[in-house]
Amino acid sequence: MSRAVVYLRVSTDEQAESGLGLESQLSACRAGAERLGLAIASIHEDDISGGLPLDRRPILVEAIAALGPGDTLLVAKRDRLSRGDMLATGTIELAVQRAGARIVSAAGEGTESDDPSHILMRRLVDAFAEYERLIIKARTRAALAAKRARGERRGGVPYGSRIDPAAPERSKAGLPCRLRPDPAEVEAVGAIQRWKAEGVSLRAIARRLDEMGVPTKGGRPWSHTTVRDLLRRTGDAEA
């Protein structure tokens, strides 16, 4: 029986209830593997933006390295590989081809074979994914510009801060909300920075935080990307 290496991805700004969660992706891949007669050899779970280049996505690199001749890199949908970046998608496809393997989407999307009609379908799927990404970016820029014009705070509350309790009154008065330090989160940031300086890996730091019961802003478990992004926001350029 041919082998399948399963790759799952949820970025930090994608919620499980959106239908893109890891469990729903795994369910789709298991069903796809059964339908195609593939034996799942390994499962690789990622929590990183699909817009990053391949050399900055170690879990995807790990999944590709697990492929052998005749194997299949199985995803729930093609946008799990890349969020519409045609160059990134091409780089990933080339790396998989060099391993003697192929990419298959459990949703089909033109990955059934390499005949001209299926190749065209794949390119159309990727093109529409890129179009969707560009539309979302344009809408986000417009929304942020409108907030700036109104003098409102932009983005989420950064880790280490909390909204001023007087926010409702300030909002009613047409004033922007202010942030105050969150003592518990400030202490957690200090611990993370100390561990990083001591040479503790980002994954090990994430495990320590989960074991200590330190919550994230969104209530999700800590991950190496969450720790990395926090360190970058607090001035660690090497994170």
Task: Pick the more confident residue, 141 or 203.
Answer: 203
User: Tokens 């720790």, residue?
Assistant: 227
Domains of the chain plus CATH, in order, are: 3-130 (3.40.50.1390), 157-239 (no CATH)
Sheet strand arrangement including 3-9: 39-46, 3-9, 72-75, 102-105
pLDDT value for 72: 97
Distance CA 97, CA 131 (A): 26
Rounded to two decimals, the pTM is: 0.62
pLDDT value for 129: 80
How many CA atoms, within 13 angstroms, populate the side-chain half-sphere of residue 101? 23
- pLDDT grade for 16, boundaries at 50, 70 and 90: very low
pLDDT of 223 over the 60 cut: yes
CA distances (Å), origin 8, targets 21, 134, 155, 201: 9, 23, 27, 23
- pLDDT grade for 191, boundaries at 50, 70 and 90: very high
List pLDDT tens digits, range 118-161: 988 988 888 888 788 778 778 878 876 776 665 555 556 788 88
Pairing mode of beta strands 39-46, 3-9 = parallel
pLDDT of 97 over the 90 cut: yes
Rounded to an integer, the average pLDDT of 181-197 is 90
How many CA atoms, within 13 angstroms, populate the side-chain half-sphere of residue 17? 1
Contacts of 228 (CB under 8 A, 6+ apart): 202, 239
pLDDT of 15 over the 60 cut: no
pLDDT value for 96: 96
Contacts of 52 (CB under 8 A, 6+ apart): 88
pLDDT value for 175: 47
Q: Are 54 and 95 in contact (CB under 8 A)?
A: yes
HEC profile of the chain: CCEEEEEEECCCCCCHHHCCCHHHHHHHHHHHHHHHCCEEEEEEEECCCCCCCHHHCHHHHHHHHCCCCCCEEEECCHHHCCCCCHHHHHHHHHHHHHCCCEEEECCECCCCCCCHHHHHHHHHHHHHHHHHHHHHHHHHHHHHHHHHHHCCCCCCCCCCEEECCCHHHHHHCCCCCCEEECHHHHHHHHHHHHHHHCCCCHHHHHHHHHHHCCCCCCCCCCCHHHHHHHHHHCCCCCC
List pLDDT tens digits, range 172-186: 444 455 677 888 888
Q: What percent of the chain has pLDDT over 70?
A: 83
pLDDT value for 172: 46
List pLDDT tens digits, range 49-89: 787 888 889 999 999 999 999 999 999 999 899 876 778 88
Contacts of 210 (CB under 8 A, 6+ apart): 221, 222
